[in-house]
């Protein structure tokens, strides 16, 4: 099992664990980030919402997964249907060659799940049957569920479209602008002024939070510690064009950049931001460049073997231009899960 190392790893870094890993319960942790007054922070959620079902794949037909046993689901209980069903759900593969793959549930029966696969990923190699791969069914984070406390006027920007992909090129405008307003009932679409408390936020993508208040804002993210590999698909959206992808790593502990398996090629860049610094539309605090072998500081041109991806922080991965649009899979086992 993957559990033993996580208990000492997370406790040593002052994260809270309120449950030990068992068949039905994952450890719970929290990560807090303080955003200065009148400032931006680039964030990524390092935790999951709690699983509501854990099971085994009995069979797969196209994009329909049948689970073993009789879970007793009701039709489409995992499909958002406002105002009654506010959650959007995903299937996460929890073992095997596609461990970490996360796909939106678009329909379900009493024992089947119809899924929408992320662009560039597939179910090839997933095992079904008596010794089938394990899955979790869990809700997406939403603006309303993500932070335990928030203040009026706080803004949240996302950068992926309805297809889960960013716009082609670099410095793309946000795809969605949310603002928090208690009078309007919480989070609203800045442009349409409609309620968006329960919009699904993309797994693995970084977001930008803007604190428009005169005081610093501490954002606490509380959730289940990921017990499956990090997995995220990204690439270029157009040929001969650099591509910005906003990313985070699914870990509540710091992870060495050199050890997370980020699929970089020569010329790729990683833009890191200082969330503790004041200001809006901040320039990157660090720009790292991959030389084909290792990451270098673009200013000093020296290697940065100790550079860490920090829990809760988001980054911009600037992928070098490719001949045509392309996708790569970023998959890696977090340090606290390593045997």
* Inside any domain, residue 61: yes
Which domain covers residue 119, as residue numbers?
53-139
**Cβ(94)–Cβ(118) below 8 Å:** no
Q: Strands, E, within 168-264: which ranges?
A: 176-181, 186-189, 207-211, 217-224, 230-236, 243-247, 255-256
pLDDT of residue 165: 85
Q: Is 145 helix (H, G, I), strand (E, B) or coil?
A: helix
pLDDT of residue 24: 61
Helix (H) or strand (E) holding 185, with range, is: none
pLDDT of residue 25: 77
pTM: 0.91
**Cβ(47)–Cβ(147) below 8 Å:** no
CATH number (domain holding residue 119): 2.40.30
**Residue 214 CB-density burial (10 A; 0-12 exposed, 13-18 middle, 19+ buried):** exposed
Two structure tokens written together for 125? 């190699």
* Inside any domain, residue 93: yes
* Inside any domain, residue 154: no
* Inside any domain, residue 110: yes
Two structure tokens written together for 253? 């502990």
Which residues of the chain are modeled with pLDDT < 70? Answer: 1-24
**Cβ(151)–Cβ(266) below 8 Å:** no
Q: Is 158 helix (H, G, I), strand (E, B) or coil?
A: strand
Q: What is the dihedral of CA 2, 90, 219, 148, to 10 degrees?
A: -100
* Inside any domain, residue 98: yes
Which residues does residue 116 pair with via DSSP β-bridges, in sequence order? 104
* Inside any domain, residue 114: yes
**Cβ(271)–Cβ(284) below 8 Å:** yes
Total residues found in the chain within this entry? 339
Distance, in Å, from the CA atom of 72 to the CA atom of 75, rounded to the nearest integer, reads 10
* Total domain count, the chain: 1
* Inside any domain, residue 277: no
Listed as own residue / partner, the contacts of 301-305 with beta carbons closer than 8 Å and 24 or more positions apart are: 304/257, 305/256, 305/258
Two structure tokens written together for 207? 């977001």
* Inside any domain, residue 243: no
Tell me which residue has tokens 């000093």.
Answer: 300
Q: Which residues contact 168 (CB under 8 A, 6 or more apart)?
A: 236, 237, 238, 241, 243
**Cβ(253)–Cβ(310) below 8 Å:** no
């Amino acid at each position: 099992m993957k559990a033993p190392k996580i208990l000492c790893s997370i406790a040593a870094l002052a994260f809270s664990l309120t449950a030990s890993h068992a068949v039905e319960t994952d450890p719970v942790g929290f990560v807090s980030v303080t955003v200065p007054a009148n400032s931006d922070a680039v964030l990524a959620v390092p935790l999951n919402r709690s699983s509501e079902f854990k099971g085994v794949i009995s069979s797969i037909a196209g994009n329909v997964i049948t689970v073993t046993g009789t879970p007793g689901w009701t039709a489409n209980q995992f499909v958002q249907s406002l105002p009654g069903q506010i959650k959007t759900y995903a299937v996460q593969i929890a073992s095997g060659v596609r461990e970490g793959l996360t796909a939106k549930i678009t329909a379900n029966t009493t024992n089947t799940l119809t899924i929408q696969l992320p662009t560039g990923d597939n179910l090839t190699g997933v095992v079904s049957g008596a010794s089938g791969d394990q899955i979790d069914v869990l809700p997406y984070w939403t603006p309303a569920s993500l932070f335990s406390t928030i203040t009026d006027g706080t803004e949240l920007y996302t950068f992926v479209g309805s297809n889960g992909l960013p716009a082609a090129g670099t410095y793309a405008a946000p795809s969605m602008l949310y603002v928090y307003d208690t009078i309007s009932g919480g989070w609203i679409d800045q442009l349409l002024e409609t309620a968006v408390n329960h919009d699904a936020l993309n797994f693995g993508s970084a977001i930008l939070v803007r604190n428009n208040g005169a005081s610093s804002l501490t954002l606490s993210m509380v959730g289940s510690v990921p017990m499956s590999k990090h997995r995220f698909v990204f690439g270029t959206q157009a040929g001969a064009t650099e591509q910005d992808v906003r990313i985070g790593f699914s870990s509540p502990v710091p992870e060495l950049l050199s050890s997370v398996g980020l699929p970089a090629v020569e010329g790729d860049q990683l833009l890191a931001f200082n969330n503790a610094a004041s200001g809006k539309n901040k320039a990157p605090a660090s720009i790292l460049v991959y030389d084909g072998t290792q990451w270098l500081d673009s200013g000093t041109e020296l290697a940065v073997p100790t550079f860490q991806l920090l829990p809760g922080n988001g980054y911009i991965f600037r992928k070098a231009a490719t001949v045509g649009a392309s996708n790569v899979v970023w998959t890696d086992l977090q340090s606290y899960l390593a045997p």
